[in-house]
Amino acid sequence: MSVLDSIYEDIIDTIREPLLALDSDLKVLSANRSFYNSFKVTPEETVGKLIYDLGNRQWDIPKLRMLLEDIIPKANKFDDYEVEHVFPGLGHKIMLLNARRIIHGAQMILLAIEDITERRRLESGLIDSEERFRRLFETAKDGLLLIDKETGNIVNANKAIANILGHSSQELIGRKLSDVGLLKDIKDFKKTIFELELFGLIDIVDTQVETKQGLHINADIYLVDRARFVQCNVRDITERKQSEEFIKNIFETVDEGFIVIDREYRIISANKAYLNMVSMPLEAVTGQHCYEVSHRIPTPCYEANEDCAVRRTFADGLPHKANHVHHDKEGNAVYVETKTYPVKDRSGDIISVIEIIINITENKRLENQLHQAQKMETVGQLAGGITHDFNNILTAIMVNCNLLQMELKEDKELKMYVDEILAAADKAADLTKSLLLFSRKQEISPKLINLNELIERIQKIWLRLIGEDIDFKTILTGSDLIVMADSGQIEQVLMNFITNARDSMPDGGLLSISTELIEVDDEFIRAHGYGESGMYALVTVSDTGIGMDEKTREKIFEPFFTTKEAGKGTGLGLSIVYGIIRQHNGYINVYSEPDKGTTFRIYLPIVNAAAEVNKPVELVEPAGGTETVLLAEDNADVRKITRSVLEAFGYTVLEAVDGEDAVNSFMKNKDSIQLLIFDVIMPVKSGKDAYEEILSVRPDINILFLSGYTIDIVGKQGIFAEGLNFISKPVSSNNLLSKIREILDK
């Protein structure tokens, strides 16, 4: 491309009218930028195309064909030819065409196109200014009034204002604004005009009135037509007023507190929920600092609290969330979650902050309950975990003591020492059971019992226990409260409550036990944070004792926590109670305040069945035998002492150190063995697996399982599900011998 060609193209591109360069075959050689912009095409869609084919044959215009194909060959040019054409996507166009045929290396035609559509419309008078104003005035959605500035009379009114004000246009002409309720009197109008002319203001009048149809309208006044007239724009804002009322009703009915705070941290507005939170009326809240009302402190809370959501929103204009502690009128802590949002003016400046306040006190309480339950579960797992080894040690101690007792029948002095050792071992065994009760892993013997009958049966014992200075009452429901429970453990629970209540009322008081039948539903579960739907027996134990504070109440179910003096209690009482109730698929909670007494509530699931009658169990004295027993026990001390006891009572004992050893020993002596005594959990092969392997050879073989592990671990082996004989460690020799005879004598 030559320098001249480059200059030529630059000049062509600066021409404002669309311009095409065509070859002798009327194909487009080039086009300027204005052509591409005006007719919305690209160079790829234009260059090299026959002019008539441009834009999917949009340029196939008969008059253009005539000009290009007939006139140019004869005259070499044409000037100012008007062509009308409808372009899809661009609409109707009136174009003024000029063309020249030139020689620039080769023959070329330059076609200049001027869009005169708007000019012709104006020149032809299709829409002159007066007609345009008239149409706009008549068709405007807003109500429009044209008012004589000097007299204040309405000189024109459109249909919209007639509908808004409930008058016809003719009825409005000649009346004043004050006549139709938009201004009080002509003095207001004159004052408005004076201010408009003096200060050049707009929106001088922004008044809201209600028409006779009940519509709410808003009016603005402007100077128009070189200040000869005043135009009044009137809008029907009924829907806006209704929307505002609707939004206001929403804010008034939501449970969350809602306040608007200005940059001075003063409350501009507040909803009913917030007013209920702070127990103050709106007039007492408005204008007060938010920290004075919410936190009830005289100094700004945001100065000491970097996490103040209101301060952060004022600072960066973004929504924020934070947790705070507010206080009610009694000074009690109220845990809240706050969410803040900016309110900006037209220029984008933050003028106030909306703060939504959600009371999460109940959520906080439930969260603390969950943490407490998780902590209790962890301690329970620890308690259950130590019992296996401890029970094996106790078994060895107790069985050795039983053997010494038999040997020392004549030596009363030495036998006394053995009895003391055995008594201490029994206490240790009871402590282990208590730990298992806390961890909810102790085996229970549940039966159908009527809670009302159980309370009536043992309340005489309670009367002797509490003393005469305490008033004791029972209030039992008339309905039978049938639950599946271990009656001994439920008695232990109630006895614990009674003794604690007695100790909390050293100067006397009132102790009551009541029962009722309740339904635990979804609402109950949401409110309390626990439970499964169904019918429950509720046992309530209340006293008027010294009570306890919140910090103490949170810890009362923890093991070894006690408020008693050293040596006056183990601190296991209420932790055992907790374990017993949870093992019975029940729930327990406590309410207490200092000097206001304590109330425990126990929920046990109801069973639709008749209660069983407790029958006395006939005790069988332990006896020996001559049968051959295979004893499989991985703990050497327990295995050794158990063998000694069995042999002392006439049994022939074969030993095995684990499950695999037990199977091998049985296969060698399968015809002579009458009983298997297997530890449940052993290395190499468990007692249950060894038993099942032996069972395939001797389906009639008797089995007695022992274990020092917790009941849930043993249960996973299927011992209880299959109804197999089982006895927990630690076990005394008498209980072991009695159980063996019970199995062999069936």
Report the SS3 class of residue 44.
Answer: helix
pLDDT-based confidence at 668, cuts 50/70/90? very high
Q: Tell me if 99 sits within 8 A of 67, measured CB to CB.
A: yes
Between 17 and 127, name the one with better pLDDT: 17
Q: Tell me if 160 sits within 8 A of 144, measured CB to CB.
A: yes
Please state, for a pLDDT cut of 90, what percent of the chain lies above it.
8
Report the SS3 class of residue 20.
Answer: strand
Q: What is the pLDDT of residue 495?
A: 80
Contacts of 729 (CB under 8 A, 6+ apart): 391, 392, 394, 395, 638, 706, 707, 708
Q: What is the pLDDT of residue 504?
A: 85
At residue 409, φ and ψ (nearest 5 deg) are -60, -35
For residues 399-414, average pLDDT:
73
Q: What is the pLDDT of residue 373?
A: 59
**C-alpha dihedral, 172 to 178 to 183 to 187, nearest 10°:** 130
- Is residue 71's pLDDT more than 70? no
- CA atoms of 553 and 589, how far apart (whole Å): 10
DSSP output for 283-333:
HHHTTSBHIIIII--SS-GGGT-TT-HHHHHHHHS--EEEEEEEE-TT--E
DSSP output for 654-670:
EEESSHHHHHHHHHHST
pLDDT-based confidence at 620, cuts 50/70/90? very low
Q: What is the pLDDT of residue 434?
A: 55
- Containing 34, the helix (H) or strand (E) segment is helix 33-39
For residues 118-141, average pLDDT:
67
Q: What pTM was estimated for this model as a whole?
A: 0.35
Between 291 and 250, name the one with better pLDDT: 291
Question: How many C-beta neighbours within 10 Å does residue 302 have?
Answer: 17
The residue whose two tokens read 């204008």 is: 287
pLDDT-based confidence at 651, cuts 50/70/90? very high
Contacts of 522 (CB under 8 A, 6+ apart): 533
* Chain Cα centroid distance, residue 631: 56
pLDDT-based confidence at 386, cuts 50/70/90? low
Three-state SS for 322-346 is EEEEEECCCCCEEEEEEEEEEEECC
Q: Which region among 153-162, 234-243, 724-733 has the lowest average model confidence (pLDDT)?
A: 234-243
Beta strands in 524-565 (DSSP E): 534-543
CA distances for 618 relative to 144, 364, 427, 622, angstroms: 106, 53, 25, 13
Q: Tell me if 215 sits within 8 A of 236, measured CB to CB.
A: yes
- Choose from 4-13, 520-529, 582-591 the range with maximum mean pLDDT: 582-591
- Is residue 206's pLDDT more than 50? no
pLDDT tens-digit readout, 459-512:
776 776 677 788 888 889 888 899 988 777 788 788 888 888 888 888 888 988
Report the SS3 class of residue 689.
Answer: helix
- Is residue 199's pLDDT more than 50? no
Q: What is the pLDDT of residue 201?
A: 43
356, amino acid identity: I
CA angle 127, 129, 131 (to 5 degrees): 60
- CA atoms of 99 and 77, how far apart (whole Å): 5
34-59 CB burial, b ≥16 within 10 A, e <16: bbeebbebeeebbeebebeebbeebb
564, amino acid identity: K
Please state, for a pLDDT cut of 70, what percent of the chain lies above it.
72
Question: How many C-beta neighbours within 10 Å does residue 266 have?
Answer: 17
Contacts of 441 (CB under 8 A, 6+ apart): 380, 384, 710, 711, 712, 713
Question: How high is the mean pLDDT of the chain?
Answer: 76
Q: What is the pLDDT of residue 317?
A: 87
- Is residue 186's pLDDT more than 70? no
Between 501 and 105, name the one with better pLDDT: 501
- Containing 278, the helix (H) or strand (E) segment is helix 272-278
Q: What is the largest CA-CA distance in the chain?
A: 155
Q: Tell me if 658 sits within 8 A of 684, measured CB to CB.
A: yes
- Is residue 605's pLDDT more than 50? yes
pLDDT-based confidence at 374, cuts 50/70/90? low
pLDDT-based confidence at 119, cuts 50/70/90? confident
pLDDT-based confidence at 172, cuts 50/70/90? confident
Q: What is the pLDDT of residue 619?
A: 39
- CA atoms of 680 and 716, how far apart (whole Å): 11
pLDDT-based confidence at 57, cuts 50/70/90? confident
- Is residue 720's pLDDT more than 60? yes
Q: What is the pLDDT of residue 571?
A: 39
pLDDT-based confidence at 448, cuts 50/70/90? confident
Contacts of 167 (CB under 8 A, 6+ apart): 180
pLDDT tens-digit readout, 279-319:
888 888 888 888 888 878 777 776 666 678 888 888 888 99
pLDDT-based confidence at 722, cuts 50/70/90? confident
Q: What is the pLDDT of residue 673?
A: 93
Question: How many C-beta neighbours within 10 Å does residue 733 have?
Answer: 24
pLDDT-based confidence at 666, cuts 50/70/90? very high
- Is residue 207's pLDDT more than 50? no
For residues 232-247, average pLDDT:
64
Is the bond preceding 281 in cis, omega lying within 30 degrees of 0?
no
For residues 159-185, average pLDDT:
74
For residues 214-233, average pLDDT:
60
Q: Tell me if 96 sits within 8 A of 85, measured CB to CB.
A: no
For residues 698-705, average pLDDT:
91
- Is residue 580's pLDDT more than 70? yes
Pairing, β 598-605 against β 447-450? unpaired
pLDDT tens-digit readout, 87-103:
877 888 888 888 888 87
- Is residue 736's pLDDT more than 90? no
pLDDT-based confidence at 660, cuts 50/70/90? very high
> What is the DSSP secondary structure assignment for residue 176, as one 8-state letter?
B
- Is residue 376's pLDDT more than 60? no
DSSP output for 389-438:
HHHHHHHHHHHHHHHHHHHTSS-HHHHHHHHHHHHHHHHHHHHHHHHHHH
Cα end-to-end distance, the chain, whole Å: 119
Q: Which region among 216-220, 310-314, 656-660, 731-735 has the lowest average model confidence (pLDDT)?
A: 216-220
For residues 227-235, average pLDDT:
66
Between 703 and 331, name the one with better pLDDT: 703
- CA atoms of 411 and 404, how far apart (whole Å): 11
Phi-psi region of 499 (alpha: psi -120 to 50; beta: other; left: phi over 0): alpha
- Is residue 210's pLDDT more than 60? no
CA angle 654, 658, 662 (to 5 degrees): 45
pLDDT tens-digit readout, 33-48:
888 888 888 888 889 9
Partners of 606 in the β-ladder: 483
pLDDT-based confidence at 107, cuts 50/70/90? confident
- Sign of the dihedral through C-alpha 720, 724, 728, 734: positive
Assigned token pair, 407: 């040997």
For residues 315-333, average pLDDT:
81
pLDDT-based confidence at 615, cuts 50/70/90? very low
pLDDT tens-digit readout, 260-273:
888 888 888 888 88
Q: Which region among 241-250, 648-657, 692-701 has the lowest average model confidence (pLDDT)?
A: 241-250
438, amino acid identity: F
Question: How many C-beta neighbours within 10 Å does residue 488 have?
Answer: 10
Q: Tell me if 738 sits within 8 A of 710, measured CB to CB.
A: no
336, amino acid identity: V
Question: How many C-beta neighbours within 10 Å does residue 355 have?
Answer: 23
